[in-house]
Amino acid sequence: MLNVIELSRVIQGEGKFMGKPSLLIRMTNCNLHCIWCDSKQASWNAKKGKFTLNQIEDFIAKNPDIKYLFITGGNPTDTRNIKDLKAIISLVKSYGKFVYIEDNGTNYTEGLYLDFVSLSPKLSGSIPVGTRFEKNHKGYLKRQNTSLKQWNSNYDCQFKFVITEKADFSEMEFIVRDVGIKKDQVYLMPEGTTMDELNRNRKMVYGYALKQAYNYTERLHIVVYGNQEGI
């Protein structure tokens, strides 16, 4: 079995391709443990992989009308996933799909045959304070800009920032400057896994994006279905 726990036909809910009919492949395992993670089945409580490469190929073959396919997680470039990730990308490209990954960006990986990379740099509000994962998480955040610079130099990227409070904006701005990210690559997204949480953060994030001329992105899957798996 590969480190894959979900295959779904979806509408992409975030970022540059928001609203696009897409195929989703979710990999398990993540080197981070964000306190607000909305995919804990692939990180905090990582499930074991349950799909073979043949099953993934059947899934792709049964959806010829869908152009876009994204591989998410968990974290696709977690070191435990790299071998499986490369096999999946090779398979997807043989079907002529537009393929990209959604990744936290802390583990730069060269030589991936990707059309696009969606990165979600983590801010200090993501730290799982008081847990056994706190130290490891902080360590990755201290080093992440080096990896983000490599991604940005070698792949076509977007950078999605999850905003939980006003203090996040200055931290986000530092990453943008330090990594050399262009404004049109940046997408600001309110944190929330429920409508109440999204509503609480939306106006603040929307207003800042408008004032600073950044892209704003919703979380359509949360708006439509809430925090359900397989959506």
Both tokens assigned to 186? 């940046």
DSSP string, 48-94: PP-B-HHHHHHHHHT-TT--EEEEESS-TTSTTTHHHHHHHHHHHHH
Query: Alpha-carbon distance 161 to 16, whole Å?
Result: 13
Q: Is the peptide bond before 74 cis (omega within 30 degrees of 0)?
A: yes
Does a structural domain hold residue 230?
Answer: no
What pLDDT, on the 0 to 100 scale, is given for residue 220? 76
Query: Alpha-carbon distance 79 to 32, whole Å?
Result: 12
What pLDDT, on the 0 to 100 scale, is given for residue 223? 76
- Contact between 37 and 75 (Cβ < 8 Å): no
- pTM of the predicted structure, to 2 decimals: 0.94
Does a structural domain hold residue 171?
Answer: yes
Q: What is the pLDDT of residues 72-101, one digit of tens each?
A: 999 999 999 999 999 999 999 999 999 999
Find the Cα–Cα–Cα–Cα dihedral 140, 145, 147, 149, rounded to 10°: 170
Helix (H, G, I), strand (E, B) or coil at 33: coil
Does a structural domain hold residue 30?
Answer: yes
What pLDDT, on the 0 to 100 scale, is given for residue 30? 97
The number of folded domains in the chain is 1
Does a structural domain hold residue 11?
Answer: yes
What pLDDT, on the 0 to 100 scale, is given for residue 168? 96
Amino acid in the structure at residue 142: K
Q: What is the CATH number of the domain that holds 120?
A: 3.20.20.70
DSSP string, 101-160: EEE-SSS-------SEEEE-PPPGGG--TTSTTHHHHHHHHHHHHHHHHHHHHHS-EEEE
What pLDDT, on the 0 to 100 scale, is given for residue 231? 56
Residue 189: give the domain boundaries.
4-225
Does a structural domain hold residue 106?
Answer: yes
| Closest to 175 measured CA to CA, from 226, 119, 115, 127 | 119
What pLDDT, on the 0 to 100 scale, is given for residue 200? 86
All residue ranges of the chain with pLDDT < 70 are 221, 225-231
